[in-house]
Structure formats: C-alpha cells, structure tokens
Amino acid sequence: MHPEIVKDPSVSASEEAVAECRRLAETDPSREPDLALALTRLSNRLSAALSPRKALVAAEEAVRINQRLADAQPGSDDRALARSLNILALRLVEVGRRDKALFESERAVSMRRMRVDALTAAPEGDPAAAAAHTDLADSLETLALCLRETGREQDGRDTAREAEAVRARVRELRSDRL
C-alpha cells in the first residue's frame, strides 16, 4: 500500500488560479495577460515542487499567450513576453533541453536590452529604468546559466559579470532616489 501523495498547497492554489483565469479569459480576451501570468506562477511553483515537465508545459503556454498578444500589437510593451521567455529558459534547462534554453534566454536578453536602451533618456531616479535594469540582470543571470549548461564556461562567467554590473547600476539608480 502506498501512502497518499500530498500535493503542495501552493501548487493547488496556483492551479485553481489558472483555472479561474482561463475561465475569465474565455469570455473576456482582455484577461489573457492574467492567464499568462498565472501560468508563469504555476510554472515556478511546479518547478519548486520538483515537477519539471509539468512546469515546462505551463511555461510554454504562458509564452504562447504572451507571444500572440505581442504579435497582435507590434511595438507594445513586451515585458510579459520577456519574463515568460526567461522562465521558459529556466524550465528548459531543468529538463535538459539546453540549446533551446539558450535560444529562449538570448531572446529574453535581447528584448530586455531594447527596453533598457529605450529608457536611456529617462530622468535620473526613474523607477521604470531601475525595473528595466533589474529585469535585464535577471535575464543575464539566466543566460549565464544557459551558457554554462551548454559548455560555454567563459561566456557564462562574462555574462554573470555583466549581470552583476547591471545590478550595481540598479543600486546606483535606486540610491539616486534617496
């Protein structure tokens, strides 16, 4: 006799949130970004609960939704897509699909670099600039991991150093606001 498997309560709550967001998005397409965010959160919780394949499925669906939304409105804010690509890259590493992870991570970094570049004219202390730099640093750290996972150790170290330099810039931007 096998003991009953107890499901992680955070996974259950996330699954319920996805189900509710999916129901709402079916009747109101403007709720699709909420569904994509709920799927991303579910992916993170499934990963933490050591269910990498299920986490990957949720991450892939979030990317599909965010990609479709971005394609429907070229030039719109693509932060959600970049975030979901970054999460997808992490999930791909977890299941051993390193080359695909590297590709998706590079896409996320590229998008986040463009956002940082677009905010170069922002006034000092602009919270959007600090947030954009933080997002870039997160994606660079994922890229560093993907590079190391594909055997590109030196490139991974260089990218990790770049991520730390970006984080130093974030600290600088935040200290300017104090």
- pLDDT tens digits, 111-161: 999 999 988 877 777 788 889 999 999 999 999 999 999 999 999 999 999
Least confident of 2-6, 7-11, 145-149, 152-156: 2-6
Average pLDDT, the chain: 91
Predicted local confidence at residue 30, as pLDDT: 94
Q: How far apart are CA 119 and CA 174, in angstroms?
A: 15
Q: Where are the domains of the chain?
A: 10-76, 82-178
Per residue in 40-62, pLDDT tens?
A: 999 999 999 999 999 999 999 99
Look up tokens 């975030």; give the residue: 83
The yes-or-no verdict on residue 5 having pLDDT over 50 is: no
Give the pLDDT band (50/70/90) at residue 82.
very high
Q: How far apart are CA 138 and CA 145, in angstroms?
A: 11
50 in the Ramachandran plot: left (φ > 0), alpha (ψ -120 to 50) or beta?
left
> CA 151 from chain center: how many Å?
23
Please give the full DSSP string across the chain, using - where no structure is assigned. -PPPPPPPHHHHHHHHHHHHHHHHHHH-GGGHHHHHHHHHHHHHHHHHTT-HHHHHHHHHHHHHHHHHHHHHSTTS--HHHHHHHHHHHHHHHHTT-HHHHHHHHHHHHHHHHHHHHHTTTSPTT-HHHHHHHHHHHHHHHHHHHHHHHTT-HHHHHHHHHHHHHHHHHHHHHHHHH-
- pLDDT > 90 fraction of the chain, expressed in percent and rounded: 78
Higher-confidence position of 38 and 8:
38
Give the pLDDT band (50/70/90) at residue 2.
very low
Give the pLDDT band (50/70/90) at residue 170.
confident
Predicted local confidence at residue 145, as pLDDT: 97
Give the pLDDT band (50/70/90) at residue 32.
very high
- pLDDT > 70 fraction of the chain, expressed in percent and rounded: 94
Q: What is the mean pLDDT of residues 64-85?
A: 92
